[in-house]
């Protein structure tokens, strides 16, 4: 088994240590200057717990319903919330509300302005699930107040998007149920009139139809409640507040990476130089 000859390494650093020291020092100074020139960004985060996705009408009006409207959401509700908070509808609303295209320095006549805006938005605004089924909305911005305002606005607008989604579906259901109830009422009164001459024979049929009509009317009332209700779809845990310390860049990390990167690159170039020199000899 061939053993590595450490004398080669020692000879290499003995020959080039001055150059490597100079490169490291220069790279460290340049990295410090660069880190000072980078615009600092501040991070603010808002944390919410999505409510469960139970229908408010069933949770409040139906005593047989086992789930509570006041319960926290389950894992499914958390995933729904993340999808809505990360949606294009949310991004467009936030970009319009805060004029992020101008804020991010994107020119209106740029042919790729939408792509750049979406890319910067996704880079500076994050939505992620917490350990206990909460959702954290994090915003990085050069202005700490803007970072907090954007995070809080996203959490607030989440209710608006949820309401729009549920309202559209509930209105459709309410319209359908109203139509079904009208047909059932017409059928009930027609049957009642036809069988009025035979009350004993008609009693059970009319009773059955009355029960079905009452059930339909109850369900129609529930869909109407769903269509007209305006409730919050989240529980606030933490509102975003302006940060008093920058979150990015980490200057020590920038200096270390810049210095070590320059040193490693110089060593590789010297190794290639020495290899080429040995081959020519």
Residues 97 and 148 in one domain: yes
pLDDT at 229: 63
Residues 113 and 220 in one domain: yes
pLDDT at 256: 87
Rounded to two decimals, what is the model's pTM? 0.68
* Token pair 């009350």: residue: 199
Burial pattern 185-224, b for ≥16 Cβ within 10 A else e, equals eeeeeeeeeeeeeeeeebeeebeebeeebeebbebbebbb
Residues 148 and 237 in one domain: yes
Residues 153 and 15 in one domain: no
Which tens digits make up the pLDDT trace of 221-253? 666 656 566 677 888 899 999 998 888 777 788
Which tens digits make up the pLDDT trace of 79-134? 989 999 999 999 999 999 999 999 999 998 999 999 999 999 999 999 999 888 88
**Host domain of residue 262:** 8-38+249-281
pLDDT at 275: 76
Residues 177 and 276 in one domain: no
- Decide if 212 is inside a domain: yes
Which tens digits make up the pLDDT trace of 165-190? 877 676 666 666 666 666 666 665 66
Return the SS3 of 47. strand
Which tens digits make up the pLDDT trace of 47-64? 998 886 555 545 444 544
Residues 6+ away with beta carbon under 8 Å from 86: 127
Residues 272 and 154 in one domain: no
Residue 276 has pLDDT above 80, yes or no: no
- In percent, the amount of the chain with pLDDT more than 90 equals 30
Q: How far is CA 164 from the centre of its chain?
A: 18
- Decide if 136 is inside a domain: yes
The number of distinct structural domains making up the chain is: 2
| 32 vs 120 pLDDT, higher one | 120
Average pLDDT for 62-85: 70
Residues 92 and 168 in one domain: yes
Residues 128 and 50 in one domain: yes
Residue 45 has pLDDT above 50, yes or no: yes
Residues 51 and 148 in one domain: yes
pLDDT at 65: 47
CATH number at residue 128: 3.30.1890
Residues 55 and 86 in one domain: yes
Residues 24 and 111 in one domain: no
Return the SS3 of 213. helix
């Amino acid at each position: 088994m061939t053993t590595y000859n450490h004398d080669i390494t020692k000879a290499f650093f003995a020959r080039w240590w001055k150059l490597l020291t100079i490169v490291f020092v220069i790279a460290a100074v340049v990295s410090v200057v660069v880190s000072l020139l980078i615009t600092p960004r501040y991070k603010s985060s808002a944390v919410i717990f999505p409510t469960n996705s139970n229908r408010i009408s069933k949770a409040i009006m139906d005593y047989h319903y086992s789930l509570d409207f006041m319960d926290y959401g389950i894992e499914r509700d958390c995933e729904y919330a993340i999808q809505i908070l990360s949606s294009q509808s949310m991004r467009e609303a936030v970009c319009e509300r805060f004029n992020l295209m101008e804020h991010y320095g994107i020119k209106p006549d740029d042919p790729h302005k939408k792509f750049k805006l979406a890319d910067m938005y996704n880079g500076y605004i994050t939505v992620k699930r917490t350990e206990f089924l909460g959702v954290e909305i994090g915003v990085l911005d050069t202005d700490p107040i803007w970072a907090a305002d954007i995070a809080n606005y996203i959490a607030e607008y989440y209710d608006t998007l949820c309401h729009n989604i549920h309202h559209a579906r509930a209105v459709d259901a309410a319209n359908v149920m109203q139509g079904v109830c009208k047909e059932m009422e017409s059928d009930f009164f027609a049957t009642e009139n036809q069988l009025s001459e035979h009350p004993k024979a008609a009693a059970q049929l009319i009773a059955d139809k009355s029960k079905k009509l009452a059930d339909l009317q109850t369900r129609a009332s529930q869909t109407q409640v769903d269509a007209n209700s305006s409730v919050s779809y989240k529980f606030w845990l933490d509102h975003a507040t302006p940060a008093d310390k920058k979150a990015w860049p980490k200057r020590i990390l920038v200096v270390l990476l810049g210095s070590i990167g320059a040193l490693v690159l110089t060593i590789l170039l010297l190794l290639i130089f020495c290899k080429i020199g040995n081959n020519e000899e």
